[in-house]
A and B are shown apart, each in its own frame.
Chain A
């Protein structure tokens, strides 16, 4: 790494100041406030505030709805990550085989990433709308009765598709780059060594993509845990009967709709702890595995 040497001791801090200010105002300060808030209990009108210690946290452990949300979040995150990554990998493998048209397909496949999550959610809400949507009609012809506002499993499928769809573009780009960094001669050598296409993928391509895959797994999990609020809000609003109420959506519902600020703050602190843990694991693991 290149090291810059500053004679003036103040200059580095002045140069860093804008970034630090943004981080402080929009991240550290709210995070600290949430941390403090999680030890408090406030009445609905904000007239009286009491310090309750860890009571907000211990209540979460007894709260059936919260434990349900943990389970829903686990199912949702794993499904989004697996669906988003496997479809992206298939598309990347297909594009990697193209010789002349790869750029065109890549551009088209990257477009969905530019769509805002709320709009993506709305798009899928329209497509799967039981009254006006196209898919319920098609599914109806196949004998499947689609109504995600009544059926919890169908609601989960809908939010998983809507959330994964956007992420496919992102994953796809990384997989394409990963595939292109594998020298063609490795696959040719494997072909001469008697490995068929499937075996080549399994024994050569996939192991060499492992660092990319692991990085994407963490990014996608974090995405599913945090950035999918608009998708849920635009499609199911956590329903029906809590079937799609993931943790980050529950933070919003409990805090801003239920006005239980203490509990909401405690929940967001727990989420924050989860993402910190995931990031630490990622860096440890990737640093060890990225060089073979």
Chain B
């Protein structure tokens, strides 16, 4: 168990744009931090820099009290779970689990004890003498976890460990990883591109975009108070509606119509962020209501998502399934649920 501290961390590949730049983050002992972002945002590179699989161009990584920049992966006292599991195909499950311990010259009895313990925790004891190819995807995933657990490392690093599983199994394994981490209390860094996975697993989220940190915070905090337009559009499903608007006379103006949303002081265009679930049907002609030209509807069962355009810009609203729909739909909005961003910097306004 240990803390992990990243200090102004950066990575530049030879002859390329920086893959990661200026990342600073303090991870508490036992904390579960999720790095989330679209593909190519540098989240995997960042994780691999912590693991020691990528060299560090600038900055510092500390695990516990040690600066580990120049240490081999093996010396960093971390364990990693890979996207493709990276199980050794020619070894049995037992040998896979024991490999890291044998390399560290641990006594045979202790190895057996740890392997048995991990197998019991993960319910893989019946498969210990099988080869990885004889296991299902979910079982392989457990073995990969087991290989991390037996080491009893200072930190677990997860590199998109669930993305090769089918949707149903992913949800189950997600819950298991969370419970396991709580139980063991091992500091964990988890990389994913799936924002639902990120929201459900994290103690704290780190949203990355183009190699930079967009926002760090607890999942609900990031959801409720996205710091930038990027975070607003990335976290939450369906994605937050982002509408280009202007400010006139202290109000936000969309398509020439003043909305019941107070504009923060200042000039220049703004981006108005509205979550689909914060929009509700209103009677036509209500002042400040949005007039949605409906294009199509997605039925989700309990809810339906109405897609359409407002003032020529796409918008999605979540409404109850029993609402009768016409070509046009008047939508009221809660001024407190409106998010406002500066259109040029992308930063949140007040």
Contact = CB atoms under 8 A, between A and B. Distances in A.
A14 interface: no
A189 B86 contact: yes
Interface stretch (A18-26, A162-170, A180-188): A180-188
A190 B147 CA distance: 11
A193 interface: yes
A101 to B, nearest CB: 13
A188 B90 contact: no
Contacts of B52: 191-192
Given A185-B82, A291-B133, A195 B103 contact: yes
Given A183-B86, A208-B90, A192 B79 contact: yes
Interface stretch (B70-78, B263-271, B278-286, B338-346): B70-78
Given A183-B84, A183-B86, A193-B74, A292 B99 contact: no
A246 B48 CA distance: 55
Main SS of the interface on chain B? loop
A104 interface: no
B80 A189 contact: yes
Nearest to B74: A194
Contacts of B86: 183, 185-186, 188-189
A291 B133 CA distance: 9
B46 to A, nearest CB: 16
Nearest to A189: B86
Contacts of B89: 208, 292
Interface string B64-101: 00000000111000111011101011100000000110
Interface residues of B, number: 24
Contacts of A192: 51-53, 73-74, 78-80, 100
A203 interface: yes
A195 B99 CA distance: 9
B343 to A, nearest CB: 42
B80 A194 contact: no
Contacts of A191: 52-53, 72-74
Interface in B91-144: 99-100, 103-104, 131, 133
Contacts of A194: 74, 100, 103-104
A183 B82 CA distance: 11
B144 to A, nearest CB: 9
A174 to B, nearest CB: 19
A226 to B, nearest CB: 33
Interface string A185-212: 1101111111110010001100110100
Contact of A188 (B73, B88, B100): B73
B88 A204 contact: yes
Contacts of A195: 74, 99, 103
B193 to A, nearest CB: 18
A186 B86 CA distance: 5
Interface string B294-331: 00000000000000000000000000000000000000
Output the residue of B84, B89, B131 with the most chain A CB within 10 A: B89
B63 to A, nearest CB: 13
Contact of B82 (A189, A203, A204, A292): A189
Given A208-B89, A208-B90, A190 B53 contact: no
Interface in A18-45: none
B90 A207 contact: yes
B133 A193 contact: no
Contacts of A186: 86, 88
Output the residue of B72, B78, B90 with the most chain A CB within 10 A: B90
Contacts of B53: 188, 191-192
Nearest to A289: B90
A208 B84 CA distance: 17
A234 B221 CA distance: 81
B95 to A, nearest CB: 10
Contacts of A292: 89-90, 131, 133
Nearest to A208: B90
A292 B72 CA distance: 30
Contacts of B99: 190, 193, 195, 203
Interface string B3-42: 0000000000000000000000000000000000000000
A57 B327 CA distance: 97
A292 B73 CA distance: 27
A179 to B, nearest CB: 15
A206 to B, nearest CB: 10
Contacts of A210: 90
Contacts of B133: 291-292
Contact of A185 (B84, B90, B100, B104): B84
Contacts of A199: 103
Nearest to A207: B90
Nearest to B83: A185
A195 B82 CA distance: 17
A183 B90 CA distance: 13
Output the residue of A188, A189, A207 with the most chain B CB within 10 A: A189
Contacts of B51: 188, 192
A291 B82 CA distance: 22
A203 B88 CA distance: 10
Contacts of B151: 193
Given A203-B99, A204-B88, A292-B131, A188 B74 contact: no
7 contacts: A189-B88, A191-B72, A192-B74, A192-B79, A193-B100, A194-B104, A292-B90
Given A191-B74, A192-B51, A193-B151, 19 more contacts: A183-B84, A185-B84, A185-B86, A188-B53, A188-B73, A189-B88, A191-B73, A192-B100, A193-B74, A193-B100, A194-B100, A194-B104, A195-B74, A195-B99, A196-B74, A199-B103, A203-B99, A204-B88, A207-B90
In the A-B complex, the 3 residue pairs with the closest CB atoms: A193-B100, A194-B103, A185-B86
